[in-house]
A = this chain, B = another copy of it.
Amino acid sequence: MEVYMPVLKTSPLFAGLDDADIRAALACLGAKRIARKKKQHLFRSGDRLTSLGVVLSGAVQIYQEDYYGNRNVFGNIGPGGLFGESFACAAIDSVPVSAVASEAGEMLFLDCRRLATPCENACGFHARLIRNLMDVLARKNVALTQRLEFTGRRTTREKALAYLFEQARLAGSSRFSIPFDRQELADYLCVERSGLSSELAKLRDEGVIQFHKNEFELLDR
């Protein structure tokens, strides 16, 4: 576990905690470490979830899938990132999403219920953990709201542009790369991959954007 201390220290969940605190917290929250190969699942839609996940290495993708195989991607979480925390915290009895390792790696599960009850060891950092979790939840909330801002647009073109402008703003540059391939971006924006491709091509032909793979650039005029 020690090898992952640097990762854990970067995790927003453990912000403000020193190494000793983190070690104690892991014990206190009944940390379970597991390994997953690429495409193996962490949990599936319908499962009951009482633990939140922390990515130690590799990456985890959260998604939904309907009858017809349409995927709805909720995010890719890298090392230090949390997943499933909303459902675990809200004590939902059946999660509406699935989690799969998009890159092989190791993940940690921490019992959310133990967060709630102040533990017998009188861990002084419980309050801080809850505070941190609150921040994470608030930020995810903002991210979800923003995604709704993209997907709520009426046309594929508007969705794509809204997303690209926001990415540029986040990157602080008109050149940036996105964390999705085409299919994933289409799923994220809730549109058809081929339609997205041709719309992007149209935007390029019109001189609005420039791109190669997942490297994009917004052109001035």
Contacts and interface: CB of A to CB of B under 8 A. Distances in A.
Interface residues of A, number: 37
A130 B129 CA distance: 11
A127 B70 CA distance: 42
A70 B151 CA distance: 13
Interface of A: 64, 66, 70, 72, 74, 85-87, 89-90, 92, 96-97, 116, 127, 130-131, 133-135, 137-142, 144-149, 151-154, 190
Contacts of A141: 86, 90, 137, 140-141, 144
Nearest to A158: B66
25 contacts: A64-B152, A66-B153, A72-B152, A74-B145, A85-B138, A86-B142, A89-B138, A90-B138, A90-B139, A90-B142, A127-B127, A127-B130, A130-B130, A130-B131, A130-B134, A134-B134, A134-B137, A137-B138, A140-B141, A141-B141, A141-B144, A147-B148, A151-B151, A152-B190, A154-B190
Contacts of A90: 135, 138-139, 141-142
Nearest to A88: B138
A148 B89 contact: no
